[in-house]
Amino acid sequence: MSDEHFKGKYEVELKYHVASKAAFLQVIGTLPHEVMLLDNTETDWYFDTPERTLATQNKSVSIREMEPSGIKLWIVKGPEADRCEATNITDAKAAKSMLATMGYEPYLEMKKIRSIYFVGQYHITLDFLEGIGHFAEFAIMTDEESLLASYKTELEQLASQFGLTAEDLEHRSYRTLYQMQSTL
């Protein structure tokens, strides 16, 4: 298991609807892989200004706590679709307080159950969001912007081994899906 999988300022990520968790797990069992986490609960707190300045700039800031692993992250995404940076933190409560001191307020708390697998240089997450369903994210982090297109092609090929196609792609963020579900 390596933190190298999560280093870089760009993330190529393809998210797919997963019809059968059992079928997904059967395929991953046939591939050489490492397990980072199994069935961790992740809680994300999203912050923005009262005017939603970050959202209008296509940016997001969140604090993530993962249990039982104990991992805590500060995550910033955008403004480009592939732009994503995360750093480990030791005190999520203090980080949330610091954001509040800077004028940011929490506007969404989102939970998911996540397992993370490493297949070669790629990481695959299997996620479950209550009321929304199962998803698999195939991803890689990089500092090399010139590699984004080739990584996307390689990730599509990896996803195809799981029987996932372009028709299964989900282009909306979990945040958007969660907000849509909570307004129903």
DSSP 3-state helix, strand, coil percentages of the chain (rounded to 5)? 30, 40, 30
Asked whether the bond before 50 is cis by omega within 30 degrees of 0, the reply is no
Is 46 catalytic? The answer is: yes
106: nearest Cα among 49, 58, 46: 46
Which H helix or E strand runs over 150?
Answer: helix 148-160
**Which residues contact residue 95 at a Cβ distance below 8 angstroms, ignoring those fewer than 6 apart?**
63, 72, 74, 89
Strands 60-67 and 122-129: unpaired
- Residues 139 and 136: their CA atoms lie apart, in Å, by 10
Q: Provide CB contacts within 8 A for 12, sequence distance 6+.
A: 82, 139, 140, 142, 148, 151, 152, 155
**From 16, 46, 117, 151, the catalytic residue:** 46
Q: What's the CA dihedral at 138, 170, 163, 133 to 10 degrees?
A: 100
Instruction: Give catalytic residue positions.
Output: 46
